[in-house]
Structure 1
């Protein structure tokens, strides 16, 4: 079983370069960071995790690609990924270039985890409506994949349109695309169409969801065995990891609090004890 970690990287938490080095030194496989461009103060949308008050780190989240570039630069093996990127809120041409550059410079160590978003007023600031966000994410990812995979790439869609173009560098390894979100037919249709895996937040209910994921992949002509399932933001225990291994899961991403090194390092030591 491979173990990675995810943390809200902020201006108050453990510096990401130190975190990345510490994770790699302990044998952890990956580091994922989330994204929020800003948090409108109206707070019309309640916190997605059901908190009474939105945690401070949501207001202070660092840009994920800049952050991961720092993490990749000070490590040699660590996979660096977004968990998750709000792809609907980003220009796909600019983002494709940034991701390809990061993947190129890191030697193919980047993984793109994307999500559809929950903060209505945040996405509205980017000109995206809640009702269309899934369609926008889909087109943005498909357009980026065209730019990554073709020497001459163009795209014509409802939300993205650009003429045949050149764009280098190309990513070394794809990069793999993982989709975060709760199990359901819409989510699994997206995974089957244009992703390489599913990152269920917390990992609850994974076993019951696997048949529906397999069915969606088969319907789309995809091999279900090629789709990764990576429980995300979980707190590990020996029993839980054994349970996941029994489902054929090979990697779990463990949750870290957004906190200074004095808090984070003992947790990393604890997580590494499961390796």
Structure 2
């Protein structure tokens, strides 16, 4: 199944409560299948990351708000990084999964900014091993009647962690671009999410690595969600995947689906012209993009 989603305003001046609600509700009206957020805990002084990361709303709280304003669209975070505490996150996501009627997509990343790990009191080394154990703890909290875990990074005393998410645990999608991260996603996750820096012209090779790892692990590779964050710019002059006219971007999306991508979501938070614009001007651009790239119907 091929699904098109849309990222809500979470970065910069355009991420007002009014814009957030308007974009989310309009996207659902137009048949977009999912709404997406991302995480940036802090911005180190002097860092060259750019305007997208300077000021970012919390992704889980944002999705919780949207769960009460929408009824059909899936609610995705791409991604929450593993410098947070997994038991606490498991409780939050279980509650959100239940309150939203089972619409959550739980994207998890390893994290790459040392200052965020320092601020969270978590070691930066061993992030791959930490990420794998992080997923183990999440799933244990959601699936096991009595949870007990003793690992390299996390300890959970024998405990009840209730209530469990309804109608069941949310899909766990992993981020990452390195080959070992791709193989990890195929081996232990329900899918993979590309980064904002992904070269979409080579996405087919990444998908192959993910699915090959799933098959090697005895899992069904066709059951995985392959999610592309679309750094979309309607009317952009320098042609690139998902940058150009509405017709060109629609064809780009179709080409991605043809290569095995299951989900594409358009994300204007990575367009500097949007995140630095006045809120009303940014909303105008978002509504123009929403209308121009709307899928043909719900779940498309």
| TM-score with structure 1 setting the length | 0.88
Residue 146 (structure 1) shift: 0.2
Gaps of 5+ in 2: 233-241, 243-248, 270-274
Distance 1:13 1:231, change over 3 A: same
Corresponding position: 1:22 with 2:17: no
Corresponding position: 1:119 with 2:119: no
Listed as ranges, the matches of 1:47-126 within 5 Å are 47=49, 54-55=50-51, 57-86=52-81, 88-126=82-120
Q: Is the 2:229–2:266 Cα contact (8 Å) retained in structure 1?
A: yes
Corresponding position: 1:264 with 2:286: yes
Gaps of 5+ in 1: 48-53
| Partners of 1:197 and 1:223 in 2: CA distance | 11
The alignment partner of 2:31 has SS state of coil
Residue 233 (structure 1) shift: 2.5
State the partner residue of 2:7: 6
Q: Is the 1:238–1:274 Cα contact (8 Å) retained in structure 2?
A: no
Residues 130-151 of structure 1: CA distance to partner in whole angstroms, max 9, x if unpaired?
A: 3322222221221011000111
Give 4+ residue runs of structure 1 displaced > 4 Å after superposition: none
Listed as ranges, the matches of 1:1-275 within 5 Å are 1-7=2-8, 9-10=10-11, 12-14=13-15, 15=17, 16-41=20-45, 43=47, 46-47=48-49, 54-55=50-51, 57-86=52-81, 88-172=82-166, 173-184=168-179, 186-201=180-195, 202=198, 203-235=200-232, 236=242, 237-257=249-269, 258=275, 260=279, 261-272=283-294
Residue 158 (structure 1) shift: 0.5
Q: Is the 1:3–1:29 Cα contact (8 Å) retained in structure 2?
A: yes
Distance 1:103 1:152, change over 3 A: same
| TM-score with structure 2 setting the length | 0.81
Instruction: Indicate the RMSD between aligned Cα atoms, in angstroms.
Output: 2.0
| Partners of 1:82 and 1:99 in 2: CA distance | 10
| Partners of 1:145 and 1:93 in 2: CA distance | 10
